[in-house]
Amino acid sequence: MEQGRVEANTQRKSLDDVVSSLSEPDNAQALKDLVEALPSIRKAVTLLAQLDRIGALDTLFSLSCALANSKSMLSDEMVAGAASLGSSAIELLAKLSSPELQGLLSVVFDHSVELSQAMTKAPRVKGVIGLMKEIRDPDVQKGLGALFAFLRLFGRYAKPGSDVNG
C-alpha cells in the first residue's frame, strides 16, 4: 500500500515537472511550432515510409554517410550541389508510385551487389553468334523487352529537335 502511494507521488512529481517545463516561454513556443508543423511532419514520415518500402531509404542513408565522410574534401559549392541533387532524387523517388517502377527500382537497389558483380564478371559477347546465344536466355529476353518498352516510351516523348542524327 505504501509502495503504491510512493509510486503515485513519483508519477505526479514527474508530471508536474513536465508541465512546469512546458510552461516556460521558450518551450511553450517550441511546442506550438511543433504542433503547427504536424502536417509537414506527417508528409515527411509518409515519404520516408515510401522510400523505405521500395528500398531506397537505406541507399540514401549510405549515400549521405559517404557524403558526410568526404565532406572535408569537397568545396561548399559541391556539397550544395550534391544536397540539391539528393533532394531532387528524393522527390523523384517519392513520385514513383507505380508497382512496376517500384519493382524495377527494387531489383536495382535490392540486388545492387549482385548486379555490380555480374557486370564486372560478364564475359564479352563476341560477334553475332555470341549475341544469338545470349538472346536465347529467358532473363535476357525479359530484360530486352523491358528495355525496348522504355525506349519506345522515351522516343515517343523526346523533345522535337533533340534528334542526335540530324
- Quick check: 50 and 98 in contact, CB under 8 A? no
Provide the pLDDT for residue 166.
Answer: 44
Cβ pair 27, 21 in contact under 8 A: yes
> Which DSSP string corresponds to 42-102?
HHHHHHHHHHHHTTHHHHHHHHHHHHHHTGGGS-HHHHHHHHHHHHHHHHHHHH---HHHH
Q: What average pLDDT does this structure show over 105-112?
A: 74
* pLDDT interval class at 138 (50, 70, 90): very high
| CB 135 within 8 Å of CB 144 | yes
Reduced to 3 states (helix: H, G, I; strand: E, B; else coil), residue 24 is: coil
Distance CA 104, CA 110 (A): 10
Torsion from C-alpha of 83, 67, 40, 22, nearest 10 degrees: -130
Name the region of 24 (left: φ>0; alpha: ψ -120 to 50; beta: rest): beta
Contact of 106 with 62, CB cutoff 8 Å:
no
Q: What is the pLDDT of residues 15-46, one digit of tens each?
A: 777 778 777 888 788 888 888 888 888 888 88
Q: What is the pLDDT of residues 50-101, one digit of tens each?
A: 888 887 777 777 777 776 666 555 566 666 676 777 777 777 766 666 677 7
Q: Stretch 137-163: mean pLDDT, rounded?
A: 80
Residue 93 and residue 51 in contact, taking contact as beta carbons nearer than 8 Å: yes
| Prediction pTM value | 0.35
Residues 92, 82: Cα–Cα separation, whole Å: 15
